[in-house]
């Protein structure tokens, strides 16, 4: 299964992509994670990426598409992939269509996890990450993490209030138009993301089954 995950920052793309990975054996590929890894590695490109991430701006299309091309060329995608955070602009949609064609594969669905802005702001403000496991905790929603984990939780550099607004603005200007694009191609599966993660996941599974059957 080959999926892309659309949705605002904080809509739950990462959480749901991890569940999809477990359930279907598909590989979770997050461009955000790849870029955070590449940022500040001492190279010129690393410096550019760090600057874009710090300000909540997108990394230029050519650089991101090149990273994704490299990642997709690795031979570990037998069961498919869930691309979390790519494509994010209409130019990246074009790049991605060429990439997936060159691999002889095709996109099964573009999953949009819809969440209102107010909830995004609330969620990102209380989001913390366990740097050891990558697990995401939402301090406003969940039970307290175990004490040994609580001590090491950290906030993502771009989850500060000013940057959250910028990331949302970028999302509305650059990424939201992709929803209309995939609606037109008939590949869009939309779910309401303003619910607990397990309910969102059940809706995703239902939506994906319906999409696959209608082919």
Task: Give me the residues that bind ligand AMP (CB under 6 A), please.
Answer: 9, 31-32, 35, 52-53, 56-59, 64, 85-86, 88, 92, 158, 167
| Crossing angle between the packed helical segments 117-125 and 161-170, to the nearest 10 degrees | 140
Active site residues: 13, 88, 127, 156, 167
Given the complex with ligand AMP, which of 176 and 206 has the nearer CB atom?
A: 176
The residues that bridge with 14 in the sheet, in sequence order, are none
- Kindly state the tokens that stand for 101: 């064609």
Report the C-alpha gap between 15 and 20 in whole angstroms: 9
CB of 215 to ligand AMP, least distance (A): 26
CB of 85 to ligand AMP, least distance (A): 3
Q: Based on the number of CB atoms within 10 Å of its own CB, is 213 exposed (0-12), middle (13-18) or buried (19 or more)? A: exposed
Q: Based on the number of CB atoms within 10 Å of its own CB, is 160 exposed (0-12), middle (13-18) or buried (19 or more)? A: middle
Given the complex with ligand AMP, which of 5 and 204 has the nearer CB atom?
A: 5
CB of 30 to ligand AMP, least distance (A): 6
Which residue number places its CB atom closest to ligand AMP?
32
């Amino acid at each position: 299964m080959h999926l892309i995950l659309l949705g605002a920052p904080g809509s739950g793309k990462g959480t749901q992509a991890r569940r999809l990975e477990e359930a279907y054996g598909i590989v979770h590929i997050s461009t955000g994670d790849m870029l955070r890894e590449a940022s500040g590695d001492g190279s010129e490109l690393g410096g550019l990426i760090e600057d874009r991430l710090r300000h909540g701006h997108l990394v230029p299309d050519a650089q991101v598409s090149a990273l994704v091309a490299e990642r997709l060329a690795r031979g570990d995608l037998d069961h498919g992939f869930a691309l979390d955070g790519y494509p994010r602009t209409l130019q990246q949609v074009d790049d991605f269509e060429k990439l997936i064609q060159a691999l002889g594969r095709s996109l099964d669905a573009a999953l949009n996890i819809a969440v209102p802005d107010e909830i995004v702001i609330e969620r990102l403000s209380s989001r913390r990450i366990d740097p050891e496991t990558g697990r995401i905790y939402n301090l406003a929603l969940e039970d307290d993490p175990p004490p040994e984990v609580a001590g090491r939780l950290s906030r993502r550099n771009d989850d500060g209030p000013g940057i959250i607004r910028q990331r949302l603005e970028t999302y509305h200007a650059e990424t939201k138009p992709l929803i209309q694009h995939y609606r037109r191609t008939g590949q869009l599966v939309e779910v309401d993301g303003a619910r607990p993660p397990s309910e969102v996941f059940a809706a995703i599974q239902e939506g994906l089954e319906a999409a696959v059957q209608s082919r």
